[in-house]
Amino acid sequence: MPFTVKETSLPGVTLVTPKKFGDERGFFMETYKASDFLNAGLPGIFTQDNHSRSVKGVLRGLHYQLPPFAQAKLVRCLRGQIFDVAVDIRQSSPNFGKWYGHILSEDDPTMLFIPEGFAHGFYTLSETADVFYKVTAEYAPEYDRGIWWNDPQIGIEWPDGEKIISEKDQKNSPLKEAELFK
């Protein structure tokens, strides 16, 4: 297996760390391979790749798409550093409303895997951050939803600092009014 998979404190959310082969030229690593992902119980097929760049202080989230366009996400920070967060928003889940946060950075190949049924957001800690993530369903704006990044019901402990929020995200809903997963 060219990567390790580690459960986090939030069941379903996992840390995926590819094996890095370093030599005098630099390094090589497989960051995704369908057969290995399937063997590890992760999705074999991702249908869209996304790349966003953010300046320091930008907070994107908390976002998700509803079925039939629900997305699992495999998130990686290629440049800079982010605090990446997943929230379980499946109403029937024993972990409903619980969150997990992890720093993803250019210095560490670890990726965060977030299953369907979770909202996702991140906060930019470095001057610039390039975030690359794979998703298992295509973008479907009509099914795209957002929850307050600072919803007290969730209580995410975001790192200190100015928060730059898009106009769209300023119109997100509190968890208790959001259309969620069953």
Nearer to ligand TDO, 52 or 170 (CB): 52
Interacting stretch for ligand TDO, rule CB under 6 A, among 16-24, 56-64, 147-155, 173-181? 56-64
Nearer to ligand TDO, 43 or 121 (CB): 121
Nearer to ligand TDO, 102 or 120 (CB): 120
**Residue 150 and residue 147: Cα distance in Å, rounded?**
9
Q: How far is the CB of 108 from ligand TDO (least distance, A)?
A: 19
Within 13 A of 127's CA, how many CA atoms are on the CB side?
Answer: 0
The answer to whether the CB of 158 falls within 8 A of the CB of 137 is no
**Residue 147 and residue 86: Cα distance in Å, rounded?**
12
Q: How far is the CB of 169 from ligand TDO (least distance, A)?
A: 7
The answer to whether the CB of 160 falls within 8 A of the CB of 129 is no
- 168 in contact with ligand TDO (CB under 6 A): yes
Nearer to ligand TDO, 94 or 141 (CB): 141
Q: How far is the CB of 182 from ligand TDO (least distance, A)?
A: 20
What is the per-residue binding string for ligand TDO in 115-154, x denoting contact by CB under 6 A? -----xxx----------------x---------------
| Of 89, 69, 82, nearest in space to 13 by CA | 89
Phi-psi region of 152 (alpha: psi -120 to 50; beta: other; left: phi over 0): alpha
Among 3, 63, 116, 156, binds ligand TDO (CB under 6 A): 63
SS3 string of 85-114? EEEECECCCCCCCCEEEEEEECCECCEEEE
| Of 51, 31, 20, nearest in space to 133 by CA | 51
102 is an active site residue: no
- 60 in contact with ligand TDO (CB under 6 A): yes
The residues of the shown chain that bind ligand TDO, judged by CB under 6 A, are 50, 52, 60-61, 63, 120-122, 139, 166, 168
